Chains A and B, each alone.
Chain A
Amino acid sequence: MVTYIVRRLVTAVLILFGASFIVYLLTAASGDPLAELRASNAPNREQLIQARVELLDLNTPAPLRYFGWLSGAVQCAVPFVGNCDLGRSIQGEAVTDALTRAVGNTIMLVTAATVLAIIIGISLGIISALRQYSGLDYGVTFMSFLFFSLPIFWLAVLLKEFGAIGFNNFLTDPDIPLSNILVVALISGVIFTILAGGTLKRKAAAFLIGAVAAGGLLYLLNLIDWFTRPGLGPIVILVFGVAAAYGITLLTAGLKNRKALYSALIMVALGLVAYYVVNPFLGAATIWLLLLLAVVTVGVGMGVGFLLGGYDRAQSMRTAALTGLLMAGLIVLDRFMVTWPSYVSNSRVRGRPIATIGASTPGLEGDFWIQGIDNFTHLLLPTLALLLASLASYSRYSRASMLEIMNMDYIRTARAKGLSERTVVMRHAFRNALIPLATLVAFDIGALIGGAVITEQVFAFSGMGQLFVQALLRTDPNPIMGFFLVVGILALVFNLIADLVYSVLDPRVRVKA
C-alpha cells in the first residue's frame, strides 16, 4: 500500500512538471502581454513597457523563463517557510495573494452547490431505481437529461431574469393572484401523484392532498403577508420538528423502534425549550457560537439516545442527534427570517434582495444575521445554476448503481431471511450503492475548485474561474500558472484519493503494490 502511494505521488510530481512546462510555453505563445501598452499613447510608454518587461522577465526566452518560475514555485512545496513565490500579475499583485482570495471565494460558491447536488442527486437516483419504469422514474430521467443538456450560461441568464429580477419585482408588492395559486396547486397535485404511484385510488388521494396542501399554504401565506415579514414561530417549528422526528426515525431505525422514536420526540421538546432560552443570546451570534451550539446539540442528542436506547443504543443516539440538528437548523432559519425585513429595507439593498452579480453587497454593514442573509442572497442563484447542472450525473450514477445492487444475491438473501424492506434498502443496498459514488464525489471535489469558470463569469463572482479567464484575456502568464498549479495538484491528489477510497470501501478491489 505504502509503495503504491509513494509510486503514485512520484509519478504525479513528474506529470506536474511536464504539464506545467507545456502550459507555460502555451501561455507564452498565447499573445503579447505588452500589446495594450504598445497600443497606448501615454507619454511614459517606453518606461511602462520597460517596467513590465522587467516585472515579467520578458527578455528571457520562455523555456528558460519557466525554470525561473519553477525555482520560485518549488519553494511552495516546503511548508511553513513562507518563501512561496508564484510571481506577480501584470498589475504587480503577488499571485499567491490573489490565489488565496480566489480559492476562498470559490470554495464558498461551490460548497453548498456540491453538498446539495450530492444529497438531492443521490436521493433522486435511489428513489427512481426503487421505482424502476414508473412515472417517477421516467420523470426523473427526463429531467436529469434536460438539465444535463442545458448550457450553464443559458440557465444562469434565465435564473437572473426570473429568479432575481422577477422575484424582486414580486417582493415589492407580494400579492399572489388566485389564478396563480390554482396553477401552483394543480402542479403540486401532479407532482404528488407521480411521487405516490400505486393504484388509481392512491393516486387520486395524493393529487387531492398535494393540491389542497400547496394551494392552502400559498393562500395562507399570502393572507398574512408572509413574504414581507417571513418567520416560522414556535408552532410551525413544533409541527416541522415532530414530522422530522417521525421521518428520521422511519429512515434510520424504523417506527417499530419506539425507543428511537421517543428519543427523537424528546429532542423536539428540548428544541422548543431551546427556542425560548437561546433566542435572546442569538442577537450577538457569531459563526463560532453557532458551531458550538451545534456540537452541544449533537452531544445532548447522543446523551438522550444513550439514556433511552436500551440494547441497541447506537440507533437511538443517531436518530436523536439528527433530529436535534434539524431542530437547531429550524431555529436558526427562523432567526434569519425574522431579520429579513430589516435586510430588505437596508439602504444598500433598497428593496431588491436577490442579487444578480458579485459575492456581497458593497458597503453593507450589519450583524451576523444581516451578513448571513447577504451571503445567501448573493449565492442563491449561482448555487442553483451549479446545482441543477451537476444534479444529473449524480442521479444517473446512483440510479445505475442501485439497480445493480438490488439484483445482487445478498439482497435476495436479506429478503429471504425476513428483514423488513427498510432494512434491506437502507442497510444492505443503499450503503453498497454508495461505493462507486465515492470515487465520483472525490473526482468532482478535485475538479470543482477550477470548474465553475462559466458560472463565475455570468455572475461576476471573483473566484478561481474569473482569475483564470481574466488572466487569459490579458495574456497575464503568472496567474494562469498559479491557477493551473492549484487545479492540477488538486486533480492529481483527488484522483489518488478516489482510488484509495475505492479500495478501502470495496475489499474486492486491491491496489497494485
Chain B
Amino acid sequence: MTIQDSSETPRGEVGPSPREVGPVADPETKGMSQGQLVRRRFFDNTAAIISLVVFAIIFLLAFTSLGFAGIPGWWKYNHTQFLPVVDGGAPTVTGPFSWGDHPFGQDSIGRDYFALTMRGAQNSIIIMFLIGAISGLVGVVVGACSGYFRGWTEAVLMRITDIVIIIPLIVLAAVLGRTVGTSLGAGAAVFFLGVVLGLLAWTGMARLVRGEFLSLREREFVDAAKIAGASNARIIFKHILPNAVGVIIVNTTLLMSAAILLETGLSYLGFGVRAPDVSLGLIISQNQEAFQTRPWLFWFPGLFIVLICLTINFIGDGLRDAFDPRQKKFNPRRAKEADRPVSA
C-alpha cells in the first residue's frame, strides 16, 4: 500500500456495521438504481433539503431583484445610484412583507444597501460556481490522468500540483487583479477573478481523484474493458469516472463553500473584487468602522455570507451521506415502521 495523502483520510462519517455492508439486498431498496438510491437518501435528509430551499431563495432573490446580464430586475434601485439619505440610512424592514423604501438601510453615501447586498451576493455566487466548475474540471482531469496512466504522466502532473499548492493564492490574485482586472469592465472582472481562482484551487480535488483512480484502475471491470478493446479515454470516462462521481460531487460542494470564504476574504483584504463593483467581503471591509453608528451595514452582508456558506455545507454533507453506500443514517421514524424481523 502506498503512503496516503491527507486528502484520502476519511472526511465523512463512515460507520458500517458488518451486517449492513454484506451482499444481502435490503428489502427497502430492492430494484432501485444507484441514482434513485442517492436521490432518496438525499431527500430523507431534512437539514440538506432545508438548506437547498434556503439557498434557492437566496439565489433567486439575488438574481431577480437586481436583474442580471441586461435583464432588468424588480427592485426599484440599483447598486450604483446615489439617493438622498433618509433617516440616517436606517433599515426600514419591519416584517417579511413590509419592506419599506430601503429594507437594509443606506450606506454613508446614500446607496441603497439592499441593492448593494444583492449585487454582492450575485458576485459571490457567480465566483463560487466558477471556482467549483473550473477547479472541479481541472482537478478531475489532472487526477484522472495521473491516477490512470501513472509513470511519467503522474510524476509530472503531481509535481505541477505540488508547485501550485505552495504558491500563495493571494499573490496571483493580486498580480492578475492589478494588471488585467482593471482593464476589464466591472462585470467581466468578477468573471475573471472566478476563473483565476478556479485555475488555482484544483489541487485538493486532483489528489483526491488520483487516489480514487489508483484503486479503481486495479479492479476487474477495467481489465474486462481493456480486453474488450476499449480505448483509454473510454475506460476513463465511461468505466472509472462514474464510479468516482460521488467523491467528486461531494468534494466540489465543499470546494464551493470554501470558495465563498476565499472570495470574501480576498475582497476584504483588497485583493479580490474591487470598487466600483461590490462583493459581500468588500462592503463589510468598507463599512466595518461604522459598526458603532450603523451596525446594519455590517450585519446584512455578513448574514448573507454565513447563510450561503452554511447552506452549501449542509447540502454537501447531505450529498456525502447519500453517496456513501456504507453510510446508513439512522431514521427513528423509519426504524419504527420497519420494526419487523428481516431474514438475513
Interfacial residues, chain A to chain B (CB-CB below 8 A)? 11, 14-16, 18-19, 22-23, 26-27, 29-31, 132-133, 145-146, 148-154, 157, 161, 396-397, 399-401, 403-404, 406-407, 409, 436, 439-440, 443, 450, 453-454, 457, 468-469, 472-473, 480, 483-484, 487-488, 491-492, 498-499, 502-503, 508-512
Contact = CB atoms under 8 A, between A and B. Distances in A.
B83 interface: no
B227 interface: no
B52 interface: no
Given A473-B270, A480-B171, A512-B3, A11 B159 contact: yes
The A interface, classified by DSSP as helix, strand, loop or mixed, is helix
B151 to A, nearest CB: 14
B330 A133 contact: yes
B298 interface: yes
A151 B288 contact: no
Given A30-B175, A508-B1, A401 B10 contact: yes
B26 interface: no
B6 A23 contact: no
5 contacts: A23-B171, A30-B178, A151-B265, A154-B305, A436-B9
A151 B3 contact: no
Contacts of B159: 11, 14-15, 18
A472 B281 contact: no
B31 to A, nearest CB: 28
- What 9 A-B pairs come out closest when comparing CB atoms? A149-B309, A30-B175, A149-B310, A403-B15, A154-B302, A488-B166, A436-B9, A19-B163, A400-B13
A15 B257 contact: no
A289 B270 CA distance: 45
Contacts of B4: 439, 499, 502, 509
Contact of A457 (B14, B269, B291, B305): B269
B92 interface: no
Interface string B149-192: 00000000001001101111011101100110000000000000
Question: Chain B CB within 10 Å — which of A14, A148, A491, A511 has the most?
Answer: A148
A503 B6 CA distance: 12
A487 B313 CA distance: 29
Given A132-B15, A157-B298, A403-B15, A510 B1 contact: yes
Given A30-B174, A454-B265, A508-B1, 12 more contacts: A26-B175, A132-B330, A146-B310, A148-B257, A153-B281, A154-B302, A403-B15, A404-B14, A454-B269, A487-B168, A491-B166, A499-B4
Nearest to A406: B15
A334 B253 CA distance: 48
B268 A454 contact: yes
B77 interface: no
Contact of A151 (B10, B162, B167, B281): B281
Contact of B15 (A407, A409, A468, A491): A407
A29 B173 CA distance: 12
A404 B10 contact: yes
Contacts of B285: 153
Nearest to A32: B178
Contacts of B257: 148-149
A199 B3 CA distance: 46
A149 B168 CA distance: 22
Interface of B: 1-4, 6, 9-18, 159, 162-163, 165-168, 170-172, 174-175, 178-179, 257, 261, 264-265, 268-271, 281, 284-285, 288, 291-292, 298, 302, 305-306, 309-310, 313-314, 317, 330
A484 B168 contact: yes
Contacts of B284: 151, 153-154, 157
B15 A509 contact: no
Given A15-B162, A154-B305, A403 B13 contact: yes
A511 B10 CA distance: 19
Contacts of A22: 163, 167
A157 B265 contact: no
A381 to B, nearest CB: 15
Contacts of B17: 407
Contacts of B18: 409
Contacts of A483: 168
Contacts of A469: 170, 269
A151 B304 CA distance: 11
Nearest to B164: A19
A197 to B, nearest CB: 15
Contacts of B163: 15, 18-19, 22
Nearest to B10: A400
A167 to B, nearest CB: 15
A4 to B, nearest CB: 8
Contacts of A509: 1, 3-4
Contacts of B174: 30, 472
B6 A440 contact: yes
Contacts of B15: 132, 403-404, 406-407
Contacts of A457: 268-269
A508 B162 CA distance: 25
Contacts of B305: 149, 151, 154
